[in-house]
């Protein structure tokens, strides 16, 4: 049996930019919203703060859940996700972002963070790509976005 993984991601805007974790692998540069798995007996707000600090070196206030994404790797045509991964991702509003240090535990292939102009988001390899328009508009019409890449 493969356990369901729950993760939290910090959606942080500054003017017309969004904070992204920048990665590099054989596809070149690609980007995701910073965040990661919630550990056993860890609250959502503690995971939010820990993941943001580990991946960006920053702190922010946790706001509302903006949307939920589900990932079932075995149903996707990709070799880049772990086999049998089933993950629920909670995308949470991050406000009052403050840079306090360097990223302490970046993810595999993560090379840094970037404040990406929202108008450039469609032009880069970004996941989840189906959420680009909603992220650009800062408008989320439904909480559960389904199983998307």
Q: Among residues of the chain, what percentage have pLDDT more than 70?
A: 97
Q: What is the dihedral of CA 4, 112, 64, 68, to 10 degrees?
A: -40
CATH of the domain at 88: 3.90.79.10
Q: What is the pLDDT of residues 103-132, one digit of tens each?
A: 988 888 899 999 999 999 999 999 999 899
Give the range of the structural domain holding residue 84, as residue numbers without chain letter: 5-147
Give the chain's mean pLDDT: 92
pLDDT score, position 79: 67
* Size of the chain, expressed as the number of residues it contains: 149
Model pTM above 0.95: no
Q: Is the pLDDT of residue 134 over 70?
A: yes
Query: How many independent structural domains does the chain possess?
Result: 1
Q: What is the pLDDT of residues 39-76, one digit of tens each?
A: 999 999 999 999 999 999 999 999 999 999 998 887 77
Q: Which two tokens stand for residue 133?
A: 């328009």
């Amino acid at each position: 049996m493969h356990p369901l993984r729950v993760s939290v991601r910090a959606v942080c805007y500054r003017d017309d930019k969004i904070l992204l974790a920048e990665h590099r692998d054989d596809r070149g540069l690609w980007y995701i919203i910073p965040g990661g798995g919630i550990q056993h007996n860890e609250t959502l707000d503690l995971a939010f703060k820990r993941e943001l600090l580990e991946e960006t070196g920053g702190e922010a206030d946790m706001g509302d859940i903006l949307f939920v994404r589900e990932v079932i790797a075995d149903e996707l045509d990709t070799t880049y996700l772990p086999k049998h991964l089933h993950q629920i991702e909670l995308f949470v509003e991050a406000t009052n972002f403050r840079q306090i240090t360097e990223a302490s535990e970046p993810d595999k292939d993560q090379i840094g963070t970037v404040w990406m102009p929202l108008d450039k988001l469609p032009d880069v390899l970004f996941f989840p790509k189906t959420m680009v328009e909603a992220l650009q508009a800062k408008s989320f019409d439904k909480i559960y976005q389904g199983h998307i890449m």
